[in-house]
């Protein structure tokens, strides 16, 4: 049955709710899609202070709500969104500062918490620490948001309790506003509108299929032999980053010096993040324009960075910064590429398929022979059975493309069976 009102969050402009649904573009049900439009805000100094204050209140509401949920769980009980909302309204009488933030923004925070707990469980949802979490809050009621264009370069939006806020009109809004999110990226405030742009995804893309191998040395290699890569952090930036890390280690906690250094480190990482996002968007657009099916490895990207994330939590060292630099150099933004492909596929109708990545790098794409020694080096693959020689990443990309016949798209279930032809004939040695 077709449901004309199935909305899909595609653009990752919200703190929660995006990411997992992006592979649903193949479903005929998805007729109306919401997309994100992000603009740089130019707050007045008063508005900036107010935004910081709301961010702090939201953080506090989130943390209190999470603590409460865990407290209930410890006793084997449960507290949900409706009850937390009711208690929030009561708490406003006792803590008047809660009332300074727009009510719908705080309710949205509890709703986001509810969604996060439903998805990950109350024990896995993270605290919003002052140092880690960057302010982000959503105005969910379109009726209370107004947008006007002031000039060629400037627009303004009316938000509850803020009044009019100015933003740089850098791209068309192109749709009906469903919600607005105000967020801070470490240096600037932005406003993201979730708009219903009326764009419908074409039923199918007539183009051929392609396999993508995502690597550390080359960001993405296709089965047709194209390499997509970009340097995300320059050598100069990396050197400066290392120097700043040393300065950070020598500075006192809470000092102004430390704040400056942290801001400078943040500025470098922000540039890296934007470069990566730009690269992902361009790569995804190029692939989706050309191909009808894009096959990816179903990498458990979370697992791949798990060791770095684990060490971040160790206090008293600079592991966090070190892993930040390592990630900037090594991480080619695999998860981001998946998301970007989901976005681009919306426009072109390209099918995105994920396959089990097992053995793709050590299997011969010509004869199916599995042997770890076939992969002579990072770049060269020479089959020990049939003498086929190829670029190792291209060979892997071809295997990924071939595996698509057994793919289950979407998250979770991996392809269960591999064809008998490609079944590994012996356990590969590593």
Q: Is 213 a catalytic residue?
A: yes
Residue 369 beta carbon to Zn ion: minimum distance, rounded to whole angstroms: 5
Q: Which is nearer to Zn ion, 308 or 358 (CB)?
A: 358
* Residue 319 neighbours by CB distance under 10 Å: 15
**Catalytic member of 24, 114, 297, 338:** 297
Q: Is 83 a catalytic residue?
A: no
Residue 125 beta carbon to Zn ion: minimum distance, rounded to whole angstroms: 48
The pair of three-digit structure tokens given for residue 366, joined into one six-digit string: 């010509």
- Residue 148, strand partner residues: 156
Helices marked H in 121-159? none
Where does this chain touch Zn ion (CB under 5 A) — which range of 62-70, 212-220, 244-252, 368-376? 368-376
Where does this chain touch Zn ion (CB under 5 A) — which range of 42-50, 111-119, 364-372, 402-410? 364-372
Can you tell me which of 222, 369, 400, 415 binds Zn ion, judged by CB under 5 A? Answer: 369
388 binds Zn ion (CB under 5 A): yes
383 binds Zn ion (CB under 5 A): yes
Find out whether 360 and 403 touch, Cβ atoms under 8 Å: yes
Q: Please give the Cα distance from 90 to 129 (Å, whole number).
A: 25
Residues 6+ positions from 177 with CB-CB distance below 8 Å: 142, 145, 147, 193, 194, 195
Q: Which residues of 76-103 are buried (b: 16+ CB within 10 A; e: fewer)?
A: eeebebeebbeebeeebeeeeebeebbe
**Catalytic member of 24, 114, 213, 237:** 213
Chain centroid to CA 419: how far? 33
The pair of three-digit structure tokens given for residue 14, joined into one six-digit string: 């919200």
Q: Which is nearer to Zn ion, 201 or 399 (CB)?
A: 399
Q: Which is nearer to Zn ion, 137 or 369 (CB)?
A: 369
Residue 402 beta carbon to Zn ion: minimum distance, rounded to whole angstroms: 13
Three-state DSSP class for residue 343: helix
Can you tell me which of 173, 277, 366, 408 binds Zn ion, judged by CB under 5 A? Answer: 366
* Residue 417 neighbours by CB distance under 10 Å: 8
385 binds Zn ion (CB under 5 A): yes
364 binds Zn ion (CB under 5 A): yes
Where does this chain touch Zn ion (CB under 5 A) — which range of 168-176, 209-217, 286-294, 359-367? 359-367
392 binds Zn ion (CB under 5 A): no
367 binds Zn ion (CB under 5 A): yes
Where does this chain touch Zn ion (CB under 5 A) — which range of 69-77, 203-211, 343-351, 365-373? 365-373
386 binds Zn ion (CB under 5 A): yes
Residue 360 beta carbon to Zn ion: minimum distance, rounded to whole angstroms: 14
Where does this chain touch Zn ion (CB under 5 A) — which range of 104-112, 279-287, 317-325, 358-366? 358-366
What are the distances in angstroms from CA 174 to CA 29, 169, 397? 22, 12, 37
Q: Which is nearer to Zn ion, 115 or 366 (CB)?
A: 366
Half-sphere exposure of 132 (CA within 13 A, CB side): 9
Q: Which is nearer to Zn ion, 21 or 395 (CB)?
A: 395
Provide the 8-state DSSP code for 126: P
Q: Please give the Cα distance from 70 to 87 (Å, whole number).
A: 16
Q: Which is nearer to Zn ion, 301 or 385 (CB)?
A: 385
199 binds Zn ion (CB under 5 A): no
What are the distances in angstroms from CA 242 to CA 234, 270, 316, 319, 326? 12, 16, 18, 12, 11
Residue 387 beta carbon to Zn ion: minimum distance, rounded to whole angstroms: 7
Radius of gyration of the chain (CA): 24
Q: Is 185 a catalytic residue?
A: no
Q: Which is nearer to Zn ion, 268 or 390 (CB)?
A: 390
* Residues in touch with Zn ion (CB under 5 A): 364, 366-367, 369, 383, 385-386, 388
Residues marked active site are found at 213, 297, 393
């Amino acid at each position: 049955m077709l449901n004309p009102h199935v909305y899909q969050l595609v653009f990752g402009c919200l703190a929660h709710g995006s990411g997992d649904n992006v592979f649903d573009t193949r479903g005929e049900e998805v007729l109306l899609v919401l997309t994100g439009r992000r603009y740089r805000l130019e707050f007045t100094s008063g508005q900036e202070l107010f935004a910081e204050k709301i961010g702090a209140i939201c953080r506090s509401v989130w943390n209190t709500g999470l603590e409460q949920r865990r407290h209930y769980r410890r006793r084997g009980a449960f507290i949900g969104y409706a009850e937390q909302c009711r208690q929030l309204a009561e708490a406003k009488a006792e803590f008047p500062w809660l009332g300074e933030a727009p009510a719908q923004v705080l309710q949205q925070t509890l709703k986001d918490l509810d969604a996060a707990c439903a998805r990950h469980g109350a024990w896995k949802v993270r605290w919003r620490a002052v140092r880690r979490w960057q302010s982000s809050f959503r105005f969910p009621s379109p009726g209370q948001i107004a947008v006007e264009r002031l000039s060629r370069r400037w627009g303004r939006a009316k938000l509850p309790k803020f009044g009019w806020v100015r933003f740089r009109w850098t791209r068309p809004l192109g749709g009906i506003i469903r919600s607005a999110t105000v967020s801070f990226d470490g240096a600037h405030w932005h406003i993201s509108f979730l708009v219903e742009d009326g764009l419908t995804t074409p039923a199918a893309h007539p183009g051929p299929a392609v396999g993508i191998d995502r690597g550390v040395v080359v960001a993405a290699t296709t089965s047709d032999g194209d390499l997509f890569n970009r340097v995300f952090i320059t050598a100069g930036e990396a050197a400066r980053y290392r120097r700043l890390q040393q300065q950070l280690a020598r500075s006192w906690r809470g000092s102004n010096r430390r704040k400056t250094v942290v801001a400078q480190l943040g500025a470098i990482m922000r540039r890296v993040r934007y470069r990566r996002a730009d690269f992902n968007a361009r790569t995804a657009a190029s692939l989706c324009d050309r191909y009808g099916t894009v096959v990816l490895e179903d990498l458990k990207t979370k697992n791949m960075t798990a060791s770095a994330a684990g060490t971040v939590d160790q206090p008293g060292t600079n592991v966090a910064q070190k892993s930040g630099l390592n990630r900037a150099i090594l991480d080619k933004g695999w998860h981001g590429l998946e998301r970007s492909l989901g976005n681009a596929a919306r426009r072109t109708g390209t099918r995105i398929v994920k396959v089990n990545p097992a053995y793709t790098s050590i299997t011969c794409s010509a004869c199916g022979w599995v042997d770890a020694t076939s992969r002579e080096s990072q770049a060269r693959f020479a089959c020990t059975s049939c003498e086929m020689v190829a670029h190792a990443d291209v060979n892997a990309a071809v295997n990924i493309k071939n595996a698509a016949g057994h793919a289950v798209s979407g998250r979770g279930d991996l392809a269960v069976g591999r064809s008998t032809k490609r079944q590994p004939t012996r356990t590969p040695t590593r």
